[in-house]
Amino acid sequence: MPPDRDVALVTSAGHDGLRLDTLVAGQWDCSRHSAALLIKNGTILVDGRPQKPSYKVGVNQSITGRIPSQKPEKPGPEPAPLPLLFEDAFLLVVNKPPGLVVHPAPGHEGGTLVNRLLHHFPAIGTVGEPDRPGIVHRLDRNTSGALVVAKTAAAHQALSDMFKSRQVRKTYLALVYGQMKSTGGVVTLPIGRHSLERKKMSVSSPQARPAETRWKVRKAFVDASLLELEIHTGRTHQIRVHCTALQRPVVGDPTYPCKWTRKRQHFSSRASFELLNAAGRQMLHAWRLEFDHPVTGAPMCFTAPLFEDIKEMLHLLRAIDGTTAPKRA
């Protein structure tokens, strides 16, 4: 197998005004989608700094990075359960389990939601990008919940446009550490790629973009809060970053912790301290999706039941607190 390619280019007048992803794709023979992923991941830099795929390059700028030696292989079908909330001729809505990667990526070439989709619905293989057929939006690996998948090219385009223009209403449930200072609020801190840790996002990034998260308390426990959150933008890790900025990180999130969550003295009991810090994944669930049908225009709303790990943690918190049972989502 040939090695990855280290690439470098100093832009000239012929590159002036080009989108960065367009320049990378044309210069080094990769798809624009692949170029955009490399740029978003910080693999391609402009004058030593990360930029957005839509960044317009100028003259005499240094474009450097590394291009993978192989393009992602087209995923294949794999038999595995697929928990459906809805299906018609144009789309599916899936209740994605925690721990399941949405589409193949380096380190996760198989065992993804896409592999399951191709087993149950082979025709999806021709819809959208070859390495992520049918996919119009994503959930993090350890975030569970409602995810819509396109079954036709027309539905894929329409849904993609709806997500891009923020016509899809997305509501999440998150269990966070501690009690909130009020019953609801809005966070408008901008979010961008962390300047040092490229797999993380930050509210103090120099490339931060506007982000808005509205939240309200759904259930208050002594040492935790169940929040209902609606995101009006779709930034990477938005809820996790905004909750951390509020000093109320999502329980079980290994990427965005707060130091106090590991200190016993900040909790009312050892039982709740040990329970919350034993969470096997971030307690974040994409609870509700609302949008107009991409073909018929009919209003649609889907609610995804919680998975057992979150339900069990809520039950145990109720038992520890001695309060009434939390409202079931």
Distance between CA 34 and CA 326 in Å, rounded? 44
Distance between CA 271 and CA 34 in Å, rounded? 47
Distance between CA 90 and CA 180 in Å, rounded? 41
Rounded to a whole number of angstroms, the CA Rg of the chain reads 21
Q: Which long-range contacts (CB under 8 A, 24 or more apart) does 21-27 make?
A: 21/53, 21/54, 23/57, 23/63, 24/63, 24/65, 27/63
DSSP one-letter code for 249:
P
Selecting among 131, 140, 223, 321, the annotated active-site residue is 140
DSSP one-letter code for 68:
-
Distance between CA 218 and CA 327 in Å, rounded? 8
6 is catalytic: no
Distance between CA 149 and CA 87 in Å, rounded? 10
DSSP one-letter code for 297:
-
CA angle 246, 248, 252 (to 5 degrees): 140
Distance between CA 37 and CA 100 in Å, rounded? 20
Contact 11, 58 (CB under 8 A): yes
Cβ neighbourhood burial of 299 (10 Å; 0-12, 13-18, 19+): exposed
Distance between CA 189 and CA 187 in Å, rounded? 6
What positions carry a catalytic annotation?
140
